[in-house]
Amino acid sequence: MDEVESGKQKASLKIMFLYRLKILILRILGYEKPLRVALFKYLFIKFRQFRPHYETILLESAVQAKKLGYENVTVLELGVAGGNGIITLEKYKKNIEKLTKVKIKIVGFDSGEGLTKIDSKFDLPFYWREGQFKTDKKKLESHIDSKIIYGDVKNTIDEFIKTNPENIVAIFFDLDLYSSTKNFLNQLSKLDKYLAPRVYCYFDDVHLPENWINEHNGELLAIKEFNSKSENIKIGQALDNINDFKFPLGKNHLFVLHNFNHKDYNKFIGIDDENSLHIGDTRVRTKIF
């Protein structure tokens, strides 16, 4: 390469570097949330077994189960892949069991073979590929005690029911695909007597940085279609609120399944204090912990 050519290349590299820098600055300055949240999220992406949202959902599920008088609860992870999620749940469960005295059984569901066949446009076939995220079963077994039910979720609910699940209080949905999520949701009526009155549902795939997911595809579409057919079970999301401090990094992903026909649905677990809101009552009941 002659000197003129190499000079041109250096100039072009410099222009591209400055351009990237400009975009980076635009994105940092225009980021609409506090930067500490981005940093917190970055830590979760980098260290896959650091999941404040999994921990606080598990904690709140157990706390509410305790209020309802349940000693044993079940938590599901749908879509296990390599196992980072379920390993993390097992890690968090130890302290939560000690604190609440509620025994937590964790059950994972996975095909074992990675993402199932992608037939539908609503599965985002331009983003997900069949066979992605295959499970190394032997390796996973050496890291966890929880049971994993292998097979397509559309065929494995009966096998799960045979394990006598008690009080499902939380479900971590991470099947990626519209069709898989829908296939699981369609079977919820079979599970209604095993579901707690209210079940925290974490949906991992309701957003992509490219903004490709919305109510017309993926998990959000599966939820919408489920709700349009189901009467006694509904899955919804609370409004954004300044009081929303209990689930760091869970915001936007957290839904609650209401199992309206549950025998304990109306059991009172609210604030039980006769003097509440009396004149001069200055007590703050919203506890961070």
Ligand X SMILES: C[S@@+](CC[C@H](N)C(=O)[O-])C[C@H]1O[C@@H](n2cnc3c(N)ncnc32)[C@H](O)[C@@H]1O
Q: No. of H helices and E strands in the chain?
A: 9, 7
> For residues 196-225, which are near ligand X according to CB under 6 A?
none
- 254 is an interface residue for ligand X by CB under 6 A: no
Judged by DSSP in three states, 32 sits in coil
58, 73, 106, 115: residue in contact with ligand X (rule CB under 6 A): 115
Contact 78, 184 (CB under 8 A): yes
Q: Which of 80, 148, 191, 199 binds ligand X (CB under 6 A)?
A: 80
Judged by CB under 6 A, which of 40, 63, 68, 114 binds ligand X?
A: 114
Asked whether position 175 contacts ligand X by CB under 6 A, the answer is yes
Between 50 and 133, CB nearer to ligand X? 133
Closest CA to 146 of 206, 76, 213, 62: 76
Count the alpha carbons within 13 Å of 16 in the hemisphere toward its beta carbon.
Answer: 6
Contact between 76 and ligand X per CB under 6 A? no
Q: Is 74 in the site for ligand X (CB under 6 A)?
A: no
Stretch that binds ligand X, among 8-16, 37-45, 175-183, 249-257 (CB under 6 A): 175-183
The edge-to-edge listing of strands for the beta sheet with 233-236 is 147-150, 103-110, 72-78, 168-173, 195-203, 254-259, 233-236
Span from 2-10, 170-178, 193-201, 230-238 in contact with ligand X (CB under 6 A):
170-178
Of 60 and 174, the one with the shorter C-beta distance to ligand X is: 174
Does position 123 interact with ligand X (CB under 6 A)? The reply is no
| Contact assessment for residue 101 and residue 71, using Cβ atoms and an 8 Å cutoff | yes
- 215-220: which pairs have CB atoms within 8 A and are 24 or more residues apart? 216/122, 217/121, 217/122, 217/123, 217/124, 217/178, 218/122, 218/123, 218/124, 218/176, 218/177, 218/178, 218/181, 219/173, 219/178, 219/181
**Rounded to the nearest whole angstrom, what is the least distance from the CB of residue 71 to ligand X in the complex?**
27
Span of 79-87, 163-171, 192-200, 213-221 interacting with ligand X by CB under 6 A: 79-87
Q: At residue 272, what is the residue type?
A: D
CB nearer to ligand X: give 56 or 116.
Answer: 116
Binding site for ligand X (CB under 6 A): 77, 79-82, 84-85, 109-111, 114-116, 133, 135, 152-153, 174-177, 180, 183
